[in-house]
Chains A and B, each alone.
Chain A
C-alpha cells in the first residue's frame, strides 16, 4: 500500500517531506502560470463571430479567426523585418495542373485533428465549401456565405481527389489564386453535425484546428481562449496560459484599461496618448504594414478623368504635415503600396510641389478645379479622418482645387464604396483606407476591368489598355520571379497614372505592458499571438 503520509514520529523526515511538498506545489504553480494571461483590448465593438470567417474586419481574423482556425494556406507572421507572405497551412503544397490552368491541386496535411478530436481530411474541405456556397446543403450558413463571397469570387468548384488531396477549379486563370485560400478557415464537420447544424450553438462551442481552443465566451464582453497543446505545428503552441479578448471600441478607455492594469495589450492607441503611455513604461510597438489611406477616384465623370488633375492632386500634398499631425504614427505615401513591398519598384514620386500642381490644373483647364469628395467621420483603418481631411482640403485648395466634402458615417461610406461609380456618379472620389494584403487586392482589383464596380473593387471604372494587358500577363504567369517583375511593372504604371490620391500609410501602433514578452509585430494585418508570454 502506498504511504501517503510521513511518519510523525520522525520530525526531521516530516520537515523534509513538507519542504518537498511545498517545492512541488510551488513548481506546479509556477508551471501553470509560466505563460501568464494575455488580456487584449480590441478596437472591435463586439466579439468577432466564432463560426469560421470572422466579421469585424481583419481584426476579427487577427484575434479570433487565426486563433481558432487554420486555412489551407497560412501566413508567415514570424518576422518583423520582412514582408509576410503565404506559407503552407492545412495544405502542405499546391500546384497548378499543367494541363488545365484553371485547376489547382492542394495536398493536405496529414495527422491534423480538430479541437473535438476528429481528423482533418479532404472531405472537410469539400464540406466547408458547401457550407459557404450551397444553400441546399444542410450545413449552409448565410452569414458565412456573406462573409466569404468576396474571397470565393473565382472559385468554381472544389472536389476531393483522395483523402488528402483536393482539386480547386477556378472560373478564370489566376496565377495568384493560392492567396485566396488564405482567407477561408476550416471548421469542424463533426462539431457541426453533433450540434445538428445549429450555428448559434456552434458559436458557443466552436471547433477548428487552430493554435487556441475555445474556453468561454460572454457575448459582447469577452472571449477566453486556451492553448491547443496538440496543435499540429509545435512551434506555434501558445506560450501564454490564456488569451482573453475584450471588445473596447473607445480609444481612451483602452488606454485607461492598460494604464490601470486591467489589460496588457492594446490595439491602436491614439497618437496623443503615446507620450503618457511611454512615461508609464508601456512598450509602443509599430511597424510598416500593407495599409494605405488614399482617395479612390472617379474615372467616368468629372475632373479626375484627366490624368493631369490626378497628378496635380498628388503634387499638392505635403505628406510630412500629415505624419506630424499623427504624432509620427504614419509614413508618407507616394504610391499604391508601401516601399517595403516586393513589387514596389521605382514609381514616380509625387513630391510636394504646389506650383507644379497649379500648372497641371491650368494645363488641364480645370482651374479652379471643383471636386466633391466623400469622407467618413470614423471607421475601420480610417485613422483620424476629420483633422486629416481638413489638412488635405487646405493643401488641395492652396494648389487650385475647390474641395466640397460630403461627410458621412462609416456605413454610409461603405454604401458608396459598394455601390460604385454608376450609383454615385457625382462623387469624384472617396476616402477609404485599404488593406493591401495580397497583390490581387493591392494592385490588380483597383485597376482591372474584371473588377469594375459593383461586381468588384475597381470603384471608379479605371481602364487602361496597357495595364489591362499587364494584369492578363500576371494572371497567366506561373513563374514566381517573372510574375514579380510584372507586378512591379504594374505598380509603377499605376503610379504614373496616379490612380489614387496617395496620402499616408499607417504604422499599426500597439501599446503593450512591460510584462508582455515575445511579441513580434509582423509587417501584416494579421499577427501571431502564440509566442507571447506574460511575466
Chain B
C-alpha cells in the first residue's frame, strides 16, 4: 500500500507543477492589465511604470515565475492587488467556509444519490426507475442559482423560516456548527449545492448497478441459491468503487465552490472569492486560489484512488 501511495504521489507532482505554470500564466493570458483595478482613470505612463515596479510586474517573466513558485512552495502567494491582504489568508479562509458547505452537501448527495440510483438500477425500465431517472435529470438540469433564488424567496422572504444570506449575525469568525441558530444559515446553500451531485451520483449508481446485475458472477450467485437481498448486497458493493470515483470528482468540484450559489447566498467561500477576483482582475488571488483548489482536487483524487484500492483489490493489483 505504501508503494502505491508513493507512486500516486509521484504522479501528482508533475500535475501540480503543470497547474502552477498555468496559474502563473494567468497574468499574461487574461485580457486586460492586472493593475487596472488600482489605477486611476487618468493615470500617466510613468505612473503605470512606477506601480508596476512596486507590484513586481516589471521583472522578466521566467524570473517572476521562479520567484512566485519559490514563494508559493513556502505558502506565500503574495498580496491581493485590490486589498493588499496576503492571498494565502483569504484563500484558506474561503476554502474553510466552502469545506463546511461541501462536508454537508457531499454526504447528503451521496446518501440520497446512491440510494435512489441503487433503487432505479434494481428495477430497470420500471416506473420507479423512470421516476428516479427523471428526478436525477431534473437535479442536473435545473440551474442551481435559480433554485437558490427560488428557495430564498420562498423560505426567507415569504415564510421567514430561514435566513437569506451570509454565515450568521457575527459572520464566519463566530460561526459554529454546534449552534442551531448558525446551522440555519447552512440549510439552503447546502440543499441547493447538493442537488447537482444527487443527480449525477444517482445516474452513475443506476448505470453501475444495472450493468453489474447483468454480469456472470451475479448469475452464479443466483444459481448458488442466494436470496435476492444477498445478491443486491454483492451488486451494490461492486458498484461502490465507480460511484466513489464520481463522488470524489464531485467533492473536488464543490470545493472549487459554486460561484453562483455562493454569490446568491453571499457565502464567503472559494467561489465567492474567485468571482470577486475575476471581476476585479485580482490575478494573485486567482493564481493562489486556483493553484490551491487544483491541489485539493489532485489530493481528493489521490484519496479516492486509495479508497477504491482498499475497497476493490482488483484495482490495487492493476
Contacts and interface: CB of A to CB of B under 8 A. Distances in A.
A191 to B, nearest CB: 16
Contact of B43 (A143, A149, A222): A149
Nearest to B263: A250
A246 B84 contact: no
A316 B273 CA distance: 43
Contacts of B94: 220
B42 A220 contact: no
Contacts of B203: none
B242 interface: no
A57 B312 CA distance: 57
A252 to B, nearest CB: 6
B42 A451 contact: yes
Interface string A199-237: 110010000000000000011111000000000000000
Given A149-B47, A257-B165, A219 B83 contact: yes
Given A221-B171, A259-B157, A147 B266 contact: no
A6 interface: no
Contact of A149 (B40, B85, B156, B264): B40
A203 B90 CA distance: 14
B44 A146 contact: no
B60 interface: no
Interface string A435-457: 00000000001000001011111
A415 B35 CA distance: 10
Interface string B20-61: 000000000001110111111111110100110011000000
Nearest to B86: A200
Interface string A253-276: 100110111100000000000000
A169 to B, nearest CB: 19
B160 interface: yes
Contacts of A151: 40
B32 A45 contact: no
A265 to B, nearest CB: 14
A418 to B, nearest CB: 6
A146 B38 contact: yes
A135 B280 CA distance: 25
A200 B83 CA distance: 9
Nearest to A408: B31
A417 interface: yes
B78 interface: no
Contacts of B89: 219
B157 A418 contact: no
B172 interface: yes
B155 to A, nearest CB: 9
B40 A45 contact: no
A105 B143 CA distance: 61
B149 interface: yes
A180 to B, nearest CB: 13
A92 interface: no
B152 interface: yes
Nearest to B169: A262
A145 interface: yes
Contacts of A222: 171
Contacts of B42: 150, 153, 418, 445, 451, 453-457
Interface string B159-182: 010011111000111000000000
A143 B79 CA distance: 11
Interface in A363-415: 409-412, 414-415
Given A46-B276, A49-B83, A147-B38, A260 B160 contact: yes
B251 interface: no
Given A203-B84, A253-B164, A45 B275 contact: yes
Given A249-B263, A256-B152, A454-B45, A146 B165 contact: no
Nearest to B47: A149
Nearest to B94: A220
A220 B263 contact: no
B152 A46 contact: no
Interface hub of A46, A252, A453, A456 (most chain B Cβ within 10 A)? A46
Interface in B106-138: none
A142 interface: yes
A445 B42 CA distance: 10
B297 interface: no
Interface of A: 45-47, 49, 51, 55, 135, 142-143, 145-151, 153, 199-200, 203, 218-222, 246-250, 252-253, 256-257, 259-262, 409-412, 414-415, 417-418, 445, 451, 453-457
Given A150-B40, A253-B152, 11 more contacts: A47-B83, A143-B38, A146-B47, A153-B42, A219-B89, A220-B268, A257-B164, A262-B166, A445-B42, A451-B42, A453-B42
26 contacts: A55-B38, A142-B55, A143-B84, A145-B50, A146-B39, A146-B47, A149-B39, A150-B41, A151-B40, A200-B84, A200-B85, A203-B84, A219-B93, A220-B93, A220-B268, A248-B165, A253-B263, A256-B165, A257-B166, A260-B160, A411-B37, A414-B36, A415-B32, A418-B36, A418-B42, A457-B42
8 closest pairs, A vs B, by CB?
A150-B40, A142-B54, A260-B156, A45-B276, A146-B38, A218-B171, A260-B164, A256-B164
Interface of B: 31-33, 35-45, 47, 50-51, 54-55, 79, 82-86, 89-90, 93-94, 149, 152-153, 156-157, 160, 163-167, 171-173, 263-266, 268, 272-273, 275-276, 279-281
